[in-house]
């Protein structure tokens, strides 16, 4: 292991190198959870979900061992910064970058849903911005499409970005991820979640209206539909992709991120280069 990349409720993620010197991101369960069968089973589901998804806008699984004494999951290392960090440090993305982001996330959801999975935790901190496009990461609470609905006491996810049906503990479909996509796009373009982020956010998601006042006008109609209370009224990821594609300028091959955000990725690469220069041989 070279350096810690991040951590969450289930585990920590480290930068590491494979025997061929390929950079990988390794997630390991927290030591205090290793002996708990519930957490082990949850990690097995995460590994299975991540392994079943393919597509340009996710991080491919390199290897995993959910049954090891210290369970772990290794994915391809993506040189990027989280959407949450980018917006916190550099402010909201300009309209074109936000549209490119949304199109990339829609393509990721198409791949995820094609694998028979609902991500259930699409949010700014689970989106990496890389030079060649966004990536959706962390399948820690993803579930199969045919999974039994969870009770209210079992609700998992980040309240500010979950759909009304998820907040109520009702059945979740791929359209729940579309709601989260809409909320994530608002954060990207405005700098704040559409329903706020305080303790009363679930109530506003279920019964209130989103604040889209700072959203660029061309995106507003689509995002409004993504945030519909009823899942059947939301567009599919394919429809989101089509709608956003019509808003994009045809400048292929150009950097999609503004210079100040791209500089964060460059700074991150410099740090990685320094760390990996002293990595021991595998």
pLDDT in tens, 70-115: 999 999 899 999 999 999 999 999 999 999 999 999 999 999 999 9
Contact 207, 201 (CB under 8 A): no
3-state secondary structure of 82: strand
Residue 240: what are its φ and ψ, rounded to 5°? Answer: -60, -45
User: Within this chain, do residues 37 and 94 fall inside the same structural domain, yes or no?
Assistant: no
219, burial (CB in 10 Å: exposed 0-12, middle 13-18, buried 19+): buried
Is 258 inside a domain boundary?
A: no
Q: Other C-beta atoms within 10 Å of 8: how many?
A: 14
Of the residues 36, 63, 65, 121, which is catalytic?
Answer: 121
Q: What is the mean pLDDT of residues 204-218?
A: 96
User: Within this chain, do residues 180 and 168 fall inside the same structural domain, yes or no?
Assistant: yes
More confident: 33 or 80? 80
Beta partners for residue 143, in sequence order: 118
User: Within this chain, do residues 143 and 213 fall inside the same structural domain, yes or no?
Assistant: yes
Is 67 an active-site residue? no
> What's the number of CA atoms in the CB half-sphere (13 Å) around residue 34?
14
Is 143 inside a domain boundary?
A: yes
Count of domains observed in the chain: 2
> Residue 207's pLDDT is what?
96
Q: What is the mean pLDDT of residues 11-16?
A: 87
Is 209 inside a domain boundary?
A: yes
User: Within this chain, do residues 68 and 122 fall inside the same structural domain, yes or no?
Assistant: no
* Residue 3: pLDDT over 90: no
Q: What is the mean pLDDT of residues 192-198?
A: 95
Percent of the chain at pLDDT above 90? 57
Is 256 inside a domain boundary?
A: no
User: Within this chain, do residues 166 and 50 fall inside the same structural domain, yes or no?
Assistant: no
Is 257 inside a domain boundary?
A: no
User: Within this chain, do residues 50 and 183 fall inside the same structural domain, yes or no?
Assistant: no
Is 262 inside a domain boundary?
A: no
110-162 pLDDT per residue, tens: 999 999 999 999 999 999 999 999 999 988 778 777 654 544 445 567 899 99
CA distances to 61, 71, 139 from 65, in Å:
11, 6, 16
For residue 201, the domain's CATH number is: 1.10.510.10
User: Within this chain, do residues 85 and 67 fall inside the same structural domain, yes or no?
Assistant: no
CA distances to 101, 224, 227 from 47, in Å:
25, 33, 29
Q: Tell me the angle at which helices 174-190 and 83-90 cross, rounded to the nearest 10 degrees.
A: 20
User: Within this chain, do residues 171 and 208 fall inside the same structural domain, yes or no?
Assistant: yes
- The domain in which residue 13 lies consists of 3-77+267-276
Distance separating alpha carbons of residues 35 and 106, to the nearest angstrom: 37
User: Within this chain, do residues 11 and 52 fall inside the same structural domain, yes or no?
Assistant: yes
For residue 60, the domain's CATH number is: 3.30.200.20
User: Within this chain, do residues 183 and 66 fall inside the same structural domain, yes or no?
Assistant: no
User: Within this chain, do residues 50 and 89 fall inside the same structural domain, yes or no?
Assistant: no
DSSP H helices, 157-258, are: 164-167, 174-190, 201-207, 217-226, 237-245
Say which DSSP state 80 is in.
E
Q: Which of 86-95, 118-127, 180-189, 262-271 has the lowest mean pLDDT?
A: 262-271
């Amino acid at each position: 292991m070279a350096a810690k990349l991040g951590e969450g409720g289930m585990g920590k993620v480290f930068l590491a190198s494979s025997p061929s010197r390929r950079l990988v991101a390794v997630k390991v369960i927290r030591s205090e959870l290793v002996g708990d069968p519930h957490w082990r089973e949850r990690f097995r589901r995460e590994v299975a979900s991540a392994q079943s998804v393919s597509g340009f806008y996710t991080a491919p699984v390199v290897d995993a061992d959910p049954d090891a004494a210290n369970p772990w999951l290794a994915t391809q290392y993506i040189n990027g910064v989280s959407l949450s960090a980018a917006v916190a440090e550099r402010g909201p993305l300009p309209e074109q970058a936000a549209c490119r982001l949304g199109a990339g996330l829609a393509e990721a959801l198409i791949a995820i849903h094609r694998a028979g999975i609902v991500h259930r935790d699409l949010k700014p901190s689970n989106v990496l911005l890389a030079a060649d496009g966004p990536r959706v990461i962390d399948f820690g609470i993803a579930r199969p499409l045919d999974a039994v609905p969870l009770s209210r006491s079992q609700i998992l996810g980040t309240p500010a970005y979950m759909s009304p049906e998820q907040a109520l503990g009702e059945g979740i479909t791929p359209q729940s991820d579309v709601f989260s996509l809409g909320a994530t796009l608002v954060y990207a373009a405005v700098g704040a979640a559409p329903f706020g982020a305080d303790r009363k956010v679930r109530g506003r998601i279920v019964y209130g209206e989103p604040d889209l006042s700072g959203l660029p006008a061309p995106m507003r109609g689509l995002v409004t539909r993504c945030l519909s209370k009823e899942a059947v009224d939301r567009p599919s990821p394919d429809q989101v992709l089509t709608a956003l594609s019509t808003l994009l300028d045809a400048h292929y091959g150009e950097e999609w991120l503004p210079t100040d955000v791209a500089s964060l990725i460059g700074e991150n690469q410099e740090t990685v280069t320094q760390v990996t220069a002293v990595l021991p041989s595998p």
